[in-house]
Structure 1
């Protein structure tokens, strides 16, 4: 009996020992375990996404690509595929599968190494959210205890949802929805059974079973999962056969932007980082910009086509690489080191024939460059000179050359080259300052430098309208006569002489202010600033959004010598387009969190024309944020008399009708106005133009200032890009001429004097005057009365 009692108690002790040890371990580890209730409120790291105003994806920023979804959005076939691959007893166990742990322990005893961890999906959730990946026993014990707690607090659906949204599946994809987007460019609920099984096989080893790097190994894993699904009764025989017969079609779909606007994306990214710091990359913000995808596409095309057109006018600089003795295979290998830039694709010259050139592109696509599409390629000598015209393809290219081409139709291509000159184009909504489109250079991949916001260049004559506006607000009118005659300025201290010139080197004598603007006469601008006074003129010009520190305190400022960005110039021109109000450019319309909840929205100052629309917008945003009271629209400040703006707009429309921008008449619209600008030695070419609906500014030049060529002016280099954009942008849009405000009158003017015209005067025309500044009728002039009633004389003449 004593022996039996001893054996009984010994057996009992041995039986209880593991339980006591496990209980002791649990009591020891439990206080340090995290609270699993936090899983209910977990926020997964989700990237920053930038969208256009019409909800098209522009870019995505963040190390982890993730699209969290809920359990109801997961296809049943995927649930079954993952259970078959990872944990077929998931729905029955309580977080831990004893058989799986015993199997893992047996493998450890047999091999001396940890082969599998015996983890359930619940245990993997515990590890992924709370623990490290170190293969140590203490982590496994914590994993088991946490899994038991998770099962007590969360449903199976909640656990499964946490798992599939967290797991890494290769190629920056975290979670099954991201994997579906990365590998197939579709949502998880759009994929067939075979593709769902492939994704279900990735959690085990994303690198080993990567479908892009190892499609054969991936297929083996996928087919094993499909076989398990058949065995477990999840699918029938027919579905199994169809699925295993399906090839692996996965490829990298990247971030899959829906439009090209990298400069916009970078501006939005910088603003978000400024607001939220590093959280901008991980909190799943969705940023909706003011950019219109249609206008952005037009801007991209206009700038690139215009730069290439300029580049072709100055000749061909030759292939990017010349390899005369290379084989076709070697050439194709070399070609892989080049990438597309600004829509221009790299190509290898395979053969040169009498009337065309045979090329190969990456992925060995073949193509033809016809002689007509390359005969423009005269050798580049300098900005002002080219070599002789080529007479046959071999005068231009040789086999083995690496060149750039642009796609035409079918297998036809045109010879191209990456322009050395650069350009910038920005489009603003004149009534609130919204950035509608922006491109800061030929290619963001070529250069991240955003010339719209960062390049400070002299605007030349495109700056003159700000000075003319000051003149019109200080006693001048469009018919005022100013002398276009030589001026000489001597600096006794510096022993220097300044002899400003007009662009053509000529002088026209007394000229009306309107004509001086559309002919862009430099000497008239200098005289205007001289008469107004430098300080008074610059103080007035500040109201258009310029800083006084940016405006040189001398007469040369009248010719556009301040160094300003294209965005600043465009902002200034919005006042001409909107009737005299100051608006500020802005890019981000609204910010939403990962769940679509509105976090913040723009509250720009708007002109009266946009007040009603902005009121409705603010009301809608306030309702989404459940605000008790919506914001009232902020009224834009009036900075110029509406009558002055109308006069100036009329003068700037003459720049298009008969002045330096006369080419724009080809667009067939009467509501276009603007001003060209060209700096000394043609280093910078500008055109800023508008109608009441859009303002667009174009700059063309070199990053390191150099001449564009002696015949390259604002009207030849920048204006064509503006036209390429504005024509399609306003296609189908009715003409929108500004309304004449009260307080303006028209009078018949003698073009040679700017005064009331006597009957029968040749070329007499109607001019616009402020009521208090209108010239007296000619009958009063004959009587010797030419006053405004206050003793002042009008018009003011400078000689």
Structure 2
């Protein structure tokens, strides 16, 4: 048997060779080892990695997930629904400054290499050997491969897959197509995907409008989109932006002068709360629900675009009017106290953390900011907001909550250090204490000619209460229903000059068999009054007698002409006091019949739906007043009712509207239910119909000194002042078949009976001798007029 050599003998022999020979042999061994490693690596790549590479169909057949977007009729974004915010922008439409900024920081040799920068890979590998922080050296093409086809796990295997896919992509797609995919797919923070979307999210503008400084800011986002974007961390985002601007200058993409200007430019970042052009959250949600019923989950990814009938100017005016009206109501009814109380630690850092945690639970509501009180006295309150900004409230700003600053205030109501309060700033930057409203409100305005909804506000703040009071709140209409009963009476031979008794009905036996003596709340009665006076002063007993004569079944059926649901209104005399139920939207459609001369046009919000390819899927074909197929009311009836409703707004319960707007064509009706549970105003002018409502979601009294004219009418006036600005008065011409008697209007065929009635005396008095009918009084009467005078003068 041959004897084995000891290992040491090899080394002795090798070290005995000349140096050159030893180096030569070592080099051969190294090359052989490297060749073997390369061979093994190649075998691994071609036998194991290449067969498992994903297909690149996702790139060649790219279908980005684009959310549902909803716009006003004048192209202002009001809603966006989908997991990803994405605007697909073709490379041809991408501005050069944006492309150059990206190439400067991500891949300066993009148009020169074949998908892989091997020099960059070697440099990155050397850096990684010396530094624990890894460097990827991924080209734009490699990033496209990773973002579309691979995971983000940092391994050598994935890096090799990136290289292989990058070469494959470069073989099948042009450089511009690759750059287009990158610029539209990459995540850039704030749920924004692609640079087109990021420009809109961060700067509120289209990508083709970005400046050099803005383009550099956007180009810096891919490195750390979630933690270093200009909203989350402005400092880090700005540092990277400045570095990119230097790169653009050094590469010759911008001149030194352009660099200097861009480096000094102050960027205006658009915060999340302001990313929509107007507050129309309730309308946007209503649209989303309608589209979901038709297209299901496809609406969130297929790029549908919806154009509504809303107008930004009208929507802004409606939103501000509702907010102002609700806050005015809150001020009239006193401060309820802080929303919460927290303990303030003495340690500065812990104290700040406690404040931040508390305020996150009580987010801002528009211009109503939440703050934690740090010091309080009867003359001054200091507080801190979530932004860290300290504020001080003094003087007039304390008036609303003065009682809560008194030492005698209850512990629940008292403002003290640790109290979470709401503050608001006026035009002069002075802070005042306010409170988050509990009362609900609704406003809707539509075009009387075709039903297009121009403005819609379903509540004070969608983020706090998503219940849409415009479309979902079925509430008692109070006296806003009376004009429809009066309209029905015109068809039965009554006319505005008909004399009706405004006197108590005594000894009446109600349906429950008990005696009931209905009357006016103020205990005052005017005796015989004209039907016109009965409506403009909203006299309950006049309305009851009218309904008694025409009969409740006839009146209830008559209501359906205006779009009301008959089953939602009682077939008894309380119907004329508004004991049924309706929504503000349904009420607006009903008043449109008076406004447009007798045609029922359906309110609508969606004007056009467009798919992701720009193809129109559907477009509204609205009904138009003037189409006789839509006529539900004699044109004479509409004319007479219009004249009576204009009296309401010029010398009746709604006189504030005529006084404040100073227009002859303003018409409408106030409405207040029993115990002032609901307050309404419904009316029109200049072919715009608008309805306002206020009340609590859980019905309760709004206050004994409140009426439709103090709750809803000021909101209506605020909106109409903007909506009708610059429009001339629009008064209807008197139609044929109407004559005048005693300076009032009536149907020609009823002249003889009207004259006979005048000879006999009061119709109401005659009927009262024959009948007695129960009714429940409401609070809309002379007290309401006096309350208006106290609040607004006049």
Q: Give the TM-score category using the shorter length.
A: 0.7 to 0.9
- The answer as to 2:365 corresponding to 1:341 is yes
Q: Considering only aligned residues, what root-mean-square deviation do their CA atoms show, in Å?
A: 4.3
> Aligned pair in 2 of structure 1 residues 94, 299: CA closer, same or farther (>3 Å)?
same
Alpha-carbon distance in structure 1 between the residues aligned to 2:676 and 2:687: 30
CA contact (8 A) 2:545 2:764 kept: no
CA contact (8 A) 1:307 1:419 kept: yes
Alpha-carbon distance in structure 2 between the residues aligned to 1:777 and 1:219: 82
Alpha-carbon distance in structure 1 between the residues aligned to 2:230 and 2:368: 30
> Which segment drifts farther, 483-492 or 288-297?
483-492
Deviation at 1:480, TM superposition (A): 2.8
Alpha-carbon distance in structure 2 between the residues aligned to 1:199 and 1:312: 45
Alpha-carbon distance in structure 1 between the residues aligned to 2:589 and 2:374: 50
| Residues 150-184 of structure 1 deviation map (CA, whole Å, 9 limit, x = unaligned) | 33332211111111111112221211233333344
- The answer as to 2:445 corresponding to 1:427 is yes
Q: Which residue of 2 aligns with 1:257?
A: 276
Alignment of 1:164-313 (within 5 A): 164-191=183-210, 193=212, 195-207=214-226, 209-213=228-232, 218=237, 252=271, 256-313=275-332
- Out of 70, 80, 90, the residue aligned to residue 60 of structure 1 is 80
- The answer as to 2:770 corresponding to 1:770 is no
Alignment of 1:604-623 (within 5 A): 604-608=622-626
> Aligned pair in 2 of structure 1 residues 532, 127: CA closer, same or farther (>3 Å)?
same
Deviation at 1:588, TM superposition (A): 1.6
> Aligned pair in 2 of structure 1 residues 378, 660: CA closer, same or farther (>3 Å)?
farther
> Which segment drifts farther, 21-30 or 482-491?
21-30
Alpha-carbon distance in structure 2 between the residues aligned to 1:692 and 1:225: 55
| Residues 118-151 of structure 1 deviation map (CA, whole Å, 9 limit, x = unaligned) | 6432233234334444567776676555544433
- The answer as to 2:738 corresponding to 1:744 is yes
Q: Which residue of 2 aligns with 1:160?
A: 179
Alpha-carbon distance in structure 2 between the residues aligned to 1:467 and 1:443: 35
- The answer as to 2:727 corresponding to 1:733 is yes
- The answer as to 2:653 corresponding to 1:653 is no
> Aligned pair in 2 of structure 1 residues 708, 363: CA closer, same or farther (>3 Å)?
same
Query: 1:647 is paired with a residue of what secondary structure?
Result: helix
> Aligned pair in 2 of structure 1 residues 193, 377: CA closer, same or farther (>3 Å)?
closer
Deviation at 1:541, TM superposition (A): 0.9
Q: Which residue of 1 aligns with 2:665?
A: 671
CA contact (8 A) 2:471 2:585 kept: yes
CA contact (8 A) 1:81 1:197 kept: yes
CA contact (8 A) 1:366 1:411 kept: no
CA contact (8 A) 1:476 1:796 kept: no
Q: Which residue of 2 aligns with 1:95?
A: 115
CA contact (8 A) 1:435 1:585 kept: yes
Query: TM-score, normalized by length of structure 2?
Result: 0.79
> Aligned pair in 2 of structure 1 residues 398, 509: CA closer, same or farther (>3 Å)?
same
- Out of 531, 547, 553, the residue aligned to residue 513 of structure 1 is 531
CA contact (8 A) 2:372 2:385 kept: yes
Deviation at 1:347, TM superposition (A): 4.6
Deviation at 1:323, TM superposition (A): 7.5
Alpha-carbon distance in structure 2 between the residues aligned to 1:208 and 1:70: 28
> Aligned pair in 2 of structure 1 residues 580, 478: CA closer, same or farther (>3 Å)?
same
> Aligned pair in 2 of structure 1 residues 126, 238: CA closer, same or farther (>3 Å)?
same
Q: Which residue of 2 aligns with 1:640?
A: 633
> Aligned pair in 2 of structure 1 residues 680, 607: CA closer, same or farther (>3 Å)?
same
> Aligned pair in 2 of structure 1 residues 677, 223: CA closer, same or farther (>3 Å)?
closer
Deviation at 1:264, TM superposition (A): 1.9
Alignment of 1:570-609 (within 5 A): 570-594=588-612, 596-608=614-626
- Out of 692, 699, 703, the residue aligned to residue 709 of structure 1 is 703
Query: 2:307 is paired with a residue of what secondary structure?
Result: strand
- Out of 294, 311, 315, the residue aligned to residue 334 of structure 2 is 315
> Aligned pair in 2 of structure 1 residues 29, 560: CA closer, same or farther (>3 Å)?
same
Deviation at 1:246, TM superposition (A): 7.9
CA contact (8 A) 2:359 2:372 kept: no
> Aligned pair in 2 of structure 1 residues 475, 156: CA closer, same or farther (>3 Å)?
same
> Which segment drifts farther, 358-367 or 725-734?
358-367
> Aligned pair in 2 of structure 1 residues 488, 306: CA closer, same or farther (>3 Å)?
farther
Alpha-carbon distance in structure 2 between the residues aligned to 1:353 and 1:14: 80
Across the two proteins, how many residue pairs are aligned to each other?
A: 724
Q: Which residue of 2 aligns with 1:150?
A: 169
Deviation at 1:587, TM superposition (A): 1.0
Alpha-carbon distance in structure 2 between the residues aligned to 1:372 and 1:262: 33
CA contact (8 A) 1:583 1:636 kept: no
Alpha-carbon distance in structure 1 between the residues aligned to 2:233 and 2:402: 49
- Out of 719, 725, 729, the residue aligned to residue 713 of structure 2 is 719
Alpha-carbon distance in structure 1 between the residues aligned to 2:179 and 2:224: 19
Query: 1:95 is paired with a residue of what secondary structure?
Result: coil
Structure 2 unaligned spans of 5+: 1-33, 769-794
Deviation at 1:746, TM superposition (A): 0.5
Alpha-carbon distance in structure 2 between the residues aligned to 1:432 and 1:526: 34
Alpha-carbon distance in structure 2 between the residues aligned to 1:447 and 1:529: 38
CA contact (8 A) 1:312 1:377 kept: no
- The answer as to 2:555 corresponding to 1:537 is yes
Q: Which residue of 2 aligns with 1:798?
A: 767
Alpha-carbon distance in structure 1 between the residues aligned to 2:258 and 2:525: 87
Query: 1:312 is paired with a residue of what secondary structure?
Result: helix
Q: Which residue of 2 aligns with 1:627?
A: none
Alpha-carbon distance in structure 2 between the residues aligned to 1:428 and 1:237: 55
CA contact (8 A) 2:68 2:304 kept: yes
Q: Which residue of 1 aligns with 2:11?
A: none
- Out of 455, 480, 483, the residue aligned to residue 498 of structure 2 is 480
CA contact (8 A) 1:318 1:379 kept: no
Query: 2:221 is paired with a residue of what secondary structure?
Result: coil
Deviation at 1:117, TM superposition (A): 5.9
Alpha-carbon distance in structure 1 between the residues aligned to 2:643 and 2:366: 38
> Aligned pair in 2 of structure 1 residues 156, 487: CA closer, same or farther (>3 Å)?
farther
> Aligned pair in 2 of structure 1 residues 465, 144: CA closer, same or farther (>3 Å)?
same
CA contact (8 A) 2:757 2:763 kept: no
CA contact (8 A) 2:470 2:583 kept: yes
> Aligned pair in 2 of structure 1 residues 375, 542: CA closer, same or farther (>3 Å)?
same
> Aligned pair in 2 of structure 1 residues 665, 355: CA closer, same or farther (>3 Å)?
farther
- The answer as to 2:679 corresponding to 1:685 is yes
> Which segment drifts farther, 459-468 or 515-524?
515-524
> Which segment drifts farther, 715-724 or 671-680?
715-724
| Residues 401-432 of structure 1 deviation map (CA, whole Å, 9 limit, x = unaligned) | 54433322323234433333222111111111
Query: 1:737 is paired with a residue of what secondary structure?
Result: coil
| Residues 596-636 of structure 1 deviation map (CA, whole Å, 9 limit, x = unaligned) | 5543221111112xxxxxxxxxxxxxxxxxxxxxxxxx776
Alpha-carbon distance in structure 1 between the residues aligned to 2:273 and 2:696: 33
> Which segment drifts farther, 677-686 or 229-238?
229-238
Q: Which residue of 1 aligns with 2:454?
A: 436
Q: Which residue of 2 aligns with 1:404?
A: 422
Q: Which one has a larger percent helix, Structure 1 or Structure 2?
A: 2
CA contact (8 A) 1:425 1:438 kept: yes
Query: TM-score, normalized by length of structure 1?
Result: 0.79
> Aligned pair in 2 of structure 1 residues 406, 121: CA closer, same or farther (>3 Å)?
closer
